């Protein structure tokens, strides 16, 4: 069991699903003492679900999910069935990242408060990585799921993923008082506002690079654009980067900075 104690009231259990998408594996968080809320039970791995139940020791009362991608939510269904517990979260219709069917018992909304006997968690709607993505805030800890990861860049896959919404959600979470970011993948981030600003700057720098290459070409298709814009990432990651590039291009079209003829993109000057 890979358990990390984050604070008196928070423990982290990392699932054994490390990889390109998932870094060291999906983090499952347990919040509370007398009563526990679980954030993101992760993939449906029987040993991970058993570990959660062992650590929970009969005290788990709620299951919260950040979004419904396969590395975050399928374990919720198993844990819910096993323990008869409600799942809090939100459903989406349009994902390309293979969401699995899941029963949501309590649909959360922006600023919903999820109350337990010894703790209270706020849901914060953060569309961008996925339209149904929520972060959760408890006592200065922001559980960011895939909105912000440690050590890897978040993939924005249209149409459910949306770059403008992603950037807006990053700006929006700065309104909240955050001491530490607890991501869905990787370690705690102790300089939250710097991290958020760096994430926004990274995306805008990439957008500038897209604009630069559009400027250099009268028109260009996405396959030709991809290795130019992402010349700094491993070619293994290009299929994932293609999603984010498409998201950047959609944003440029929405902002009247580029056009698309069905095959090729051009800059509007």
Q: DSSP states of 204-264 as a string?
A: HHHHHHHHHHHHHSSSB-HHHHHHHHTTTS-GGGHHHHHHHHHHHHHHHHHTTSEEE-SS-
Q: Supply the minimum distance, in Å, between the C-beta of residue 67 and Zn ion.
A: 6
Q: Which residues of 234-246 are buried (b: 16+ CB within 10 A; e: fewer)?
A: eeeeeebbbebbb
- In the shown chain, the binding pattern of residues 205 to 244 toward Zn ion, with x for contact by CB under 5 A and - for none, equals ----------------------------------------
Q: E strand or H helix at 10, and its extent?
A: strand 10-14
Identify which of 138, 122, 116 has the alpha carbon closest to the alpha carbon of residue 182. 138
Q: Supply the minimum distance, in Å, between the C-beta of residue 184 and Zn ion.
A: 7
* Residue 69 vs 203, nearer CB to Zn ion: 69
| Token reading at 111 | 């600023």
Please list every residue from 73 through 102 that binds Zn ion, using CB under 5 A: none
In angstroms, rounded to a whole number, what is the distance separating the alpha carbons of residues 152 and 25?
A: 12
* Residue 11 vs 73, nearer CB to Zn ion: 73
Number of residues that bind Zn ion (CB under 5 A): 2
Q: Is residue 69 involved in binding Zn ion (CB under 5 A)? A: yes
Q: Of 2-10, 34-42, 66-74, 242-250, which part binds Zn ion (CB under 5 A)?
A: 66-74
* Residue 134 vs 265, nearer CB to Zn ion: 134
Torsion angle of C-alpha atoms 76, 128, 108, 26, degrees rounded to 10: 20
Please list every residue from 141 through 160 that binds Zn ion, using CB under 5 A: 146
Q: Of 25-33, 34-42, 67-75, 221-229, which part binds Zn ion (CB under 5 A)?
A: 67-75
In angstroms, rounded to a whole number, what is the distance separating the alpha carbons of residues 121 and 64?
A: 10
* Residue 69 vs 248, nearer CB to Zn ion: 69
On the question of a cis peptide bond just before residue 222, with omega within 30 degrees of 0, the verdict is no
Q: Of 57-65, 83-91, 138-146, 236-244, which part binds Zn ion (CB under 5 A)?
A: 138-146
Interacting residues with Zn ion (CB under 5 A): 69, 146
């Amino acid at each position: 069991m890979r358990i990390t104690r984050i604070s008196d009231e928070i423990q982290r259990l990392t699932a054994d699903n490390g990889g390109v998408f998932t870094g060291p594996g999906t983090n499952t968080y347990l919040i509370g003492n007398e009563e526990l809320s679980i954030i993101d039970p992760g993939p449906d791995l029987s040993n991970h679900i058993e570990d959660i139940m062992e650590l929970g020791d009969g005290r788990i009362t709620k299951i919260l999910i950040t979004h419904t991608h396969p590395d975050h939510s399928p374990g919720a269904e198993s844990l819910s069935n096993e323990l008869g517990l409600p799942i809090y979260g939100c459903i989406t219709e349009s994902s390309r990242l293979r969401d699995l069917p899941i029963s949501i018992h309590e649909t959360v909304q922006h600023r919903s408060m999820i109350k337990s006997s010894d703790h209270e968690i706020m849901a914060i709607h953060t569309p961008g990585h996925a339209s149904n993505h929520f972060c959760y805030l408890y006592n200065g800890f922001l559980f960011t799921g895939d909105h912000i990861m440690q050590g890897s860049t978040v993939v924005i896959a249209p149409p459910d993923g949306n770059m403008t919404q992603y950037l807006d959600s990053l700006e929006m979470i700065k309104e909240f008082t955050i001491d530490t970011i607890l991501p869905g993948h990787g370690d705690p981030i102790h300089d939250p506002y710097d991290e958020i600003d760096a994430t926004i700057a990274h995306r805008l720098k990439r957008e500038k690079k897209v604009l630069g290459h559009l400027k250099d070409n009268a028109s260009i298709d996405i396959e030709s654009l991809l290795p130019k814009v992402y010349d700094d990432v491993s070619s293994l990651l290009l299929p994932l980067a293609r999603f984010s590039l498409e998201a950047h291009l959609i944003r440029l079209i929405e902002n009247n900075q580029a056009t698309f003829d069905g095959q090729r993109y051009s800059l509007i000057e």
